[in-house]
Amino acid sequence: MPAPPSPFAPDASFDAPYDAIVVGAGPAGLNAATYLGRFRRRFLVVHDGRSRARWIPRSHNHPGFPRGIGGPALLGRQRRQAERYGARFLEARVEAVERDGDAFAVRGQGVDLRARTVLLATGVHDNHPPLAGVERAIRRGVVRICPICDAYEVIGRRVAVVGDGDLGGREARFLADYAAAVTLVHVGPPEALSATERAALAHFGVAVREAALVDLALERAGVRLAGDGGFDALYSALGCTARSELAERAGVATNDAGYLVAGQAHQETAAEGVWAAGDAVRGLNQISVAQAEAAIAATAMHNWLRERDGELAGSAQGGKQDRTAATA
């Protein structure tokens, strides 16, 4: 039986401030949309269609899918679930989130909205190696970006890791517990890979090749390194860049690595009324973590709005108890 439509579902004529605007429609933003819909909130999801989850050919470590699920399929399932509870989506690029009296102005190309609360679920950019055909290779599983997600799938295979410093070394050592052979293709200056890391790589049996990106070539079923034969898969350890462009104007702090700073209890930021969830908050880059953070944030947003609207009766301590119970 279909769920009843939310009486607060927004429509084209809705011009008052939304209760919430979710920026981003990856696993975090979509999970927040389901929660906000079931909380019967007036809200809108604004996104640019660039969720990094769409690159995932098949994830085998996401709960509930023992045979695995592809990123596009997961995003589709989550969106349909959110729409079931009244979620509405606007595909556009948000360029600014700024305080506007007792609300926030959310503006961008074709966007001029106001909302009482905002959830930033903007994700990260992967710094893909600039190799011909890299996007197709990611979709085929030849180029991989998350050893935590899928190192299990390269057990017994020959793997290369491309990196330009100690991060590449750490990922290569992680993969050494799975792959039959691991080679770090170090494309940075030799001094960028520390002596300590080189010693650790030797201890783990990881070969190190000083090379340039032009020495790597993507093939249909693998990767070739000039002078070193082929590999079954190439892991990119060139890092990520948090999509934190909106943070400064919204009054949201970022850490030294550029990730948004949010409280661990409720995903709140230093800007009252703004929450953050997903890969833009921390570097673990796990779908289940992003979804959990979004559930926490959406619940906190709902209760924050209830407090402002006088719906949580009793003392401040009573409100704290209510909020904690709801989040749990």
For residues 194 and 252, membership in a common domain is answered with: no
| Residue keyed to tokens 């104007």 | 249
What is the domain range of residue 97? 18-125+241-327
9 has a pLDDT exceeding 60: no
Q: How buried is residue 195: exposed, middle or buried, by Cβ count under 10 Å (0-12/13-18/19+)?
A: exposed
State the average pLDDT for the chain.
Answer: 91
**pLDDT tens readout for residues 84-142:** 999 999 999 999 999 999 999 999 988 999 999 999 999 999 999 999 999 999 999 99
Confidence of residue 3 (pLDDT cuts 50, 70, 90): low
For residues 28 and 158, membership in a common domain is answered with: no
Residue 306 lies in a domain: yes
Asked if residue 51 lies in contact with residue 123, where contact means CB atoms within 8 angstroms, the answer is: yes
For residues 247 and 121, membership in a common domain is answered with: yes
For residues 245 and 116, membership in a common domain is answered with: yes
For residues 115 and 133, membership in a common domain is answered with: no
Asked if residue 117 lies in contact with residue 68, where contact means CB atoms within 8 angstroms, the answer is: no
**In this structure, what CATH number is given to the domain that contains residue 206?**
3.50.50.60
Asked if residue 103 lies in contact with residue 19, where contact means CB atoms within 8 angstroms, the answer is: no
**pLDDT tens readout for residues 172-205:** 999 999 999 999 999 999 999 999 999 999 999 9
Q: Among the listed ranges 11-25, 53-67, 159-173, which one has the minimum average pLDDT value?
A: 11-25
> Does residue 249 come out as left (phi exceeding 0), alpha (psi in the -120 to 50 range) or beta?
alpha
Residue 12 lies in a domain: no
E strand map for 129-255: 143-144, 158-163, 181-186, 207-210, 216-219, 222-225, 230-231, 233-237, 240-242
For residues 101 and 132, membership in a common domain is answered with: no
The number of distinct structural domains making up the chain is: 2
156 has a pLDDT exceeding 60: yes
Residue 81, H or E segment: helix 71-84
Residue 13 lies in a domain: no
Q: Last residue of some domain: 212, 237, 262? A: 237
Q: Last residue of some domain: 237, 252, 275? A: 237
Q: What's the mean pLDDT in 64-79?
A: 97
Question: Higher confidence at residue 212 or residue 284?
Answer: 212
249 has a pLDDT exceeding 90: no
Per-residue confidence (pLDDT) for residue 107, from 0 to 100: 95
Per-residue confidence (pLDDT) for residue 239, from 0 to 100: 92
Could you tell me the pTM of the whole model? 0.89
257 has a pLDDT exceeding 60: yes
For residues 134 and 103, membership in a common domain is answered with: no
**pLDDT tens readout for residues 206-227:** 999 999 999 999 999 999 999 8
- Map residue 22 onto helix, strand or coil: strand
Confidence of residue 317 (pLDDT cuts 50, 70, 90): very low
Per-residue confidence (pLDDT) for residue 319, from 0 to 100: 41
For residue 56, the tally of other CB atoms under 10 A from its CB is 26
Confidence of residue 327 (pLDDT cuts 50, 70, 90): very low
For residues 189 and 253, membership in a common domain is answered with: no
291 has a pLDDT exceeding 50: yes
Per-residue confidence (pLDDT) for residue 14, from 0 to 100: 54
Question: Higher confidence at residue 9 or residue 284?
Answer: 284
For residues 312 and 184, membership in a common domain is answered with: no
